[in-house]
């Protein structure tokens, strides 16, 4: 229906991202490599720290492959993190056991001026090596997804120093000094484009931009800090010759999805758990949609989960659709519920 449909492509996920309705729909899950899998926990212990795991191409490739071996997902997502970018730019990033990430908070324009785009290349090269290994080791029918955090979401961690439910530090910074904040966004756009272009050159065949904290902005700020930077990142990718499909995932505000899609030109929209079936259907008349089973329904399992899986697959059967969760798998998820989900989608 759009964008050079390729009906003969052996990777079903890429067919769906090209705008085809595929039955059964391709499936992968955000955070499909992670603590709910005992084999992940074992490799993570072997690596030591979380960033040590991200910067070990052999081990990062191994944990990326673990869920593919278990479940045969249609896509693998590179194992890394959205906070690789601030780390590569020279900010201090730490992952404390059970507490989530902590960064040295960025306070001033001087801090922004000191971000070191040149130094980032060495760390991005390590991640690209993971991608290279994966492209060799993955089954040929498995799509390999590269990713980064969207500029806004990465900026919220850099300014706040940690995740927060309202992103107060970044929002206040952006109101007090919009030009300074724009300088930070500009650096993040360019460095993220370098990072993603490197992943594609190494063998990634689709990309996802995670805007996990897009939900709390008033409409003008949503345009300025979510839509405009994503559009700029898409243009920066094009300028670097990147042609692969990009999935946008602006989480937390379903009212802006049409505008986000029209302005950014992403190939697919990731839908969080709050997006209604009616909205997913209407978006899917224009583009590929991905989502949106509640990760907690995957923890609970049982008849409610089965019913919702059937409802999603049924509603989007004739449309370009990629089955996924509305947010990442949580550590409490029983691995056998994931097996049941995959079976049911493919039945």
Burial-class residue 259 by CB neighbours within 10 Å (0-12, 13-18, 19+).
Answer: middle
Nearer to ligand CP3, 251 or 256 (CB): 251
Nearer to ligand CP3, 215 or 320 (CB): 215
**Considering the rule CB under 6 A, would residue 83 count as an interface residue with ligand CP3?**
yes
Nearer to ligand CP3, 39 or 177 (CB): 39
**Helix, strand, coil in percent for the chain, rounding step 5:** 55, 15, 35
**Considering the rule CB under 6 A, would residue 73 count as an interface residue with ligand CP3?**
no
Gap between the Cα atoms of 339 and 253, Å rounded: 30
Q: Which of residues 31-50 bind ligand CP3 (CB under 6 A)?
A: 31-35, 44, 50
Instruction: Of 63, 71, 26, give the one whose Cα is nearest residue 45.
Output: 63
In eight-state DSSP terms, residue 105 is P
**Considering the rule CB under 6 A, would residue 66 count as an interface residue with ligand CP3?**
no
Nearer to ligand CP3, 77 or 305 (CB): 77
As measured in angstroms, the least distance from the Cβ of 4 to ligand CP3 is 27
**Considering the rule CB under 6 A, would residue 248 count as an interface residue with ligand CP3?**
no
Q: Does 56 qualify as catalytic in the annotation?
A: no
Buried b (16+ CB within 10 A) or exposed e, 302-327: eeebeebbeebbeebeebbbbbbbbb
**Considering the rule CB under 6 A, would residue 101 count as an interface residue with ligand CP3?**
yes
Q: Does 70 qualify as catalytic in the annotation?
A: no
Q: Which of 5, 100, 139, 302 binds ligand CP3 (CB under 6 A)?
A: 100
Nearer to ligand CP3, 32 or 191 (CB): 32
Residue 212 near residue 166 (C-beta atoms within 8 A): no
Q: Which of 79, 124, 225, 321 binds ligand CP3 (CB under 6 A)?
A: 79
Instruction: Of 224, 226, 231, 232, give the one whose Cα is nearest residue 214.
Output: 226
As measured in angstroms, the least distance from the Cβ of 254 to ligand CP3 is 16
As measured in angstroms, the least distance from the Cβ of 249 to ligand CP3 is 8
Q: Which of residues 162-221 bind ligand CP3 (CB under 6 A)?
A: 163, 210, 212
Gap between the Cα atoms of 196 and 252, Å rounded: 24
Total residues in contact with ligand CP3, by rule CB under 6 A: 21
Gap between the Cα atoms of 278 and 290, Å rounded: 14
Going 128 to 57 to 298 to 28, the CA torsion angle's sign is positive
Chain residues binding ligand CP3 by CB under 6 A are 30-35, 44, 50, 77, 79, 81-83, 95, 100-101, 147, 163, 210, 212, 328
Residues that are catalytic:
31, 35, 44, 81, 157
């Amino acid at each position: 229906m759009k964008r050079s449909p390729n009906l003969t492509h052996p990777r079903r996920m890429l067919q769906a991202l090209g705008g085809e309705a595929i039955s059964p729909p391709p499936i992968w899950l955000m955070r499909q490599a992670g603590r709910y899998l005992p084999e992940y926990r074992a490799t993570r212990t072997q690596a030591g720290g979380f960033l040590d795991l991200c910067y070990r191409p052999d081990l990062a490739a191994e944990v990326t492959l673990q869920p593919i071996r278990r479940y045969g997902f249609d896509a693998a997502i590179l194992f890394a993190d959205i906070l690789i970018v601030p780390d590569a730019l020279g900010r201090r990033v730490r992952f404390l056991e059970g507490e989530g990430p902590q960064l040295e908070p960025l306070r001033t324009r001087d801090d922004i001026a000191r971000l070191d785009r040149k130094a980032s290349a060495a760390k991005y090269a390590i991640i690209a090596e993971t991608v290279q290994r994966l492209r060799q080791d993955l089954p040929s029918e498995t799509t390999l997804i590269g990713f980064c955090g969207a500029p806004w979401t990465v900026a919220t961690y850099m300014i706040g120093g940690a995740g927060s439910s309202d992103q107060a530090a970044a929002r206040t910074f952006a109101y007090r000094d919009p030009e300074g904040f724009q300088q930070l966004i500009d650096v993040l756009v360019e460095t993220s484009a370098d990072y993603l272009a490197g992943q594609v050159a190494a063998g990634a065949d689709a990309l996802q931009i995670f805007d996990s904290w897009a939900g709390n902005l008033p409409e003008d700020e949503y345009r300025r800090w979510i839509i405009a930077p994503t559009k700029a990142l898409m243009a920066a990718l094009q300028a670097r010759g990147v042609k692969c499909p990009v999935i946008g995932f602006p989480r937390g505000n379903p009212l802006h999805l049409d505008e986000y899609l029209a302005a950014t030109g992403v190939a697919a929209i990731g839908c969080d758990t709050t997006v209604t079936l009616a909205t997913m259907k209407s978006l899917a008349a224009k583009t590929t949609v991905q989502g949106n089973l509640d990760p907690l329904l995957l923890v609970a399992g049982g008849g409610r989960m089965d019913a919702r899986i059937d409802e999603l697959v049924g509603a989007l059967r004739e449309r370009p659709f990629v089955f996924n969760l509305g947010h990442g798998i949580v550590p409490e998820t029983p691995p056998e519920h994931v097996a049941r989900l995959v079976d049911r989608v493919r039945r």
